[in-house]
């Protein structure tokens, strides 16, 4: 199938591994899905410490389930990317551990306290849901199928984050002040979640033409602001003065894009920013620490064909 034919036929779930897709499509889809998978893994690593640090058994159980979900989403998406035939799952995991693999800007920054957890579990996951819901209509069918499961579980994650936010917002004066401080710190990062503005986006036009993306970065950011600014205010959070947010005549909101630190964003996107390097190094250490497990499994597969003696009998 040539590229012009792909653009003509592009539609939700239009293409699958049985189709002979052009190299340009396969590489673009692999890049997009690998980025998504990396972000799921790194989001899970970001929240993993709060399995132990959460203030109650109920919260510990919820964070344990959430981290398990996020890592599972990553593995599911690596398989969807692998179906394009460009890279293997192992290659993509190795690239993530080495710092070659890219992931979302928000997951380069560490969570430094419990009061910051709803910034990810509510606001970032809420932003993710805006994007992921549109990807259920992506043109690569394995990716769309993966998003059916991911969106179902992410909906619970957002409710989990909102419950934490509600509890802190109704807590002591000190807790409310700490929550506002966390929001002030994370708000610009959250707005940048959707990536650069459409005029600066490198990959949007092609991804849109072949049906991989359904909605632009600016449209997603606009939709998020319209929904989540009222939610933030509902819980007593004040929208920071910077970046400036304007309320339009129709009741929608618009951010002054020039107020956002795009220089830092693009440094982060290249894995050149120090907090992000710490996250990547931690991932690399984990990959190295578990190498013996992969080697043992590979040896078992080679020597036995993956079958135990009991199974063979």
pLDDT at 250: 87
- Of 4-18, 22-36, 237-251, least confident by mean pLDDT is 237-251
- Of 5-19, 154-168, 204-218, least confident by mean pLDDT is 204-218
Say whether pTM exceeds 0.85: yes
Domain boundaries, the chain: 3-312
Query: Is the pLDDT at 225 greater than 90, yes or no?
Result: yes
Give tens-digit pLDDT for 247-286.
888 888 989 888 988 888 888 888 877 776 778 888 888 8
* Contact call for residues 122 and 165 (beta carbons, < 8 A): yes
**For the residues 65-81, what does the mean pLDDT come to?**
97
- Could you tell me how far CA 286 lies from the centroid of its own chain? 20
Mean pLDDT, the chain, whole residue set? 92
pLDDT at 197: 82
* Contact call for residues 78 and 138 (beta carbons, < 8 A): no
* Backbone angles phi and psi of 220, in degrees to 5: -65, -40
3-state secondary structure the chain: CCHHHHHHHCCCCCECCCCCCCHHHHHHHHHHHHHHHHHHHHHHHHHCCHHHHCCCHHHHHHHHHHHHHHHHHHHHHHHHHHCCCCCCHHHHHHHHHHCCCCCCHHHHCCCCCHHHHHHHHHHHHHHHHHHHHHHCCCCEHHHHHHHHHHHHHHHHHHHHHHHHHHHHHCCCHHHHHHHHHHHHHHHHHHHHHHCCCHHHCCCHHHHHHCCCCCCCHHHHHHHHHHHHHHHHHHCCCCCCCCCCEEECCCCCEEECHHHCCHHHHHHHHCCCCHHHHHHHHHHHHHHHHCHHHHHHHHHHHHHHCCCCHHHHC
Give tens-digit pLDDT for 156-192.
999 999 999 999 999 999 999 999 999 999 999 999 9
**For the residues 114-137, what does the mean pLDDT come to?**
96
CA–CA gap between residue 90 and residue 57 (Å, rounded): 35
pLDDT at 186: 96
Q: Tokens for 140, please give them.
A: 């690569």
Give tens-digit pLDDT for 30-55.
999 999 999 999 999 899 999 999 99
Q: Tell the burial category of 72 from Cβ atoms under 10 Å away from its Cβ (0-12, 13-18, 19+).
A: middle
CA–CA gap between residue 306 and residue 229 (Å, rounded): 53
CATH topology for 3-312?
Ferritin (1.20.1260)
């Amino acid at each position: 199938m040539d590229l012009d034919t792909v653009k003509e036929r592009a539609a939700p779930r239009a293409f699958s591994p049985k189709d002979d897709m052009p190299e340009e499509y396969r590489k673009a889809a692999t890049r997009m899905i690998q980025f998504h998978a990396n972000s799921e893994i790194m989001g899970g690593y970001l929240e993993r410490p709060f399995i132990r640090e959460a203030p109650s058994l109920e919260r510990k159980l919820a964070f344990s389930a959430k981290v398990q979900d996020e890592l599972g989403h990553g593995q599911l998406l690596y398989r969807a990317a692998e179906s394009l035939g460009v890279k293997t799952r192992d290659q993509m995991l190795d690239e993530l551990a080495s710092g070659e693999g890219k992931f979302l800007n928000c997951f380069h920054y560490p969570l430094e306290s419990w009061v910051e957890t709803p910034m990810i579990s509510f606001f970032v996951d809420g932003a993710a849901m805006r994007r992921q819901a549109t990807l259920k209509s992506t043109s690569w069918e394995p990716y769309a199928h993966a998003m059916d499961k991911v969106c179902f579980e992410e909906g619970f994650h957002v409710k989990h984050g909102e419950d934490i936010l509600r509890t802190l917002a109704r807590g002591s004066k000190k807790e409310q002040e700490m929550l506002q401080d966390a929001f002030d710190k994370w708000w610009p990062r959250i707005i940048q979640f959707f990536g650069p503005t459409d005029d600066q986006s490198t990959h949007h036009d092609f991804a849109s033409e072949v049906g991989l993306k359904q909605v632009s970065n600016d449209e997603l950011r606009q939709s998020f602001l319209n929904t989540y600014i009222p939610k933030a205010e509902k819980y007593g959070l004040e929208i920071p003065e910077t970046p400036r947010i304007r309320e339009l005549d129709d009741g929608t909101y618009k951010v002054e894009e020039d107020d956002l630190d795009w220089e830092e964003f693009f440094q982060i996107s290249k894995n050149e920013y120090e907090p992000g390097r710490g996250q990547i190094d931690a991932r690399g250490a984990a990959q190295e620490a578990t190498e013996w497990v992969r080697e043992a499994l590979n040896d078992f597969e080679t020597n036995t064909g993956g079958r135990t003696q009991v199974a063979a009998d």
